[in-house]
Amino acid sequence: MTQHLTVEIQRLPHAEGLALPAYQTAHAAGLDLLAAVPGDKPLVMQPGQRALIPTGLMIAVPPGFEAQVRPRSGLALKHGVTVLNSPGTVDADYRGEVSVLLINHGDAPFTIQRGERIAQLVIAAVAQANLVAVTSLSSTDRGSGGFGSTGR
């Protein structure tokens, strides 16, 4: 069952005329974020280049939740463009503009036009942990096996 949550969103002047983030299907987990770059100045990302892309939006994530900025699979597959710090976290007490840190891992320049879907925003519940220092931890079958310890 899908949980519904109210999240306040504010559009900044440089996002005027752009649609608010929206789910593209009935059961989608992520809302599409759009690039709020100037219409007359698309951003060209060269291979290997990273860029912070404005969305022109500020959000008020409720306490106990976070907004995760995640890549769009189509951009990654077709162009090698992805979110560099994936997933990026928007904390419940952050009130600045949501921006997307993209990187072009592709082999060709990639142009970001105004209104282009550049990332997804997923609202997720979070828990804050109370850390307790101990002298030893309980044992498990896995133990301290790390990277690659459970398969190839």
pLDDT tens-place string over residues 72-90: 999 999 999 999 999 999 9
The three-state secondary structure class of 79 is helix
Q: What pLDDT was estimated at residue 1?
A: 63
CB 121 within 8 A of CB 76: no
Confidence (pTM): 0.89
Q: Contacts for 145-148 with beta carbons within 8 Å, 24 or more apart?
A: none
CB 118 within 8 A of CB 18: no
Which domains are present in the chain? 8-125 (2.70.40.10)
Residues 6+ positions from 122 with CB-CB distance below 8 Å: 29, 30, 31, 67, 68, 70, 87
Q: What pLDDT was estimated at residue 139?
A: 92
Q: What pLDDT was estimated at residue 94?
A: 98
The three-state secondary structure class of 102 is strand
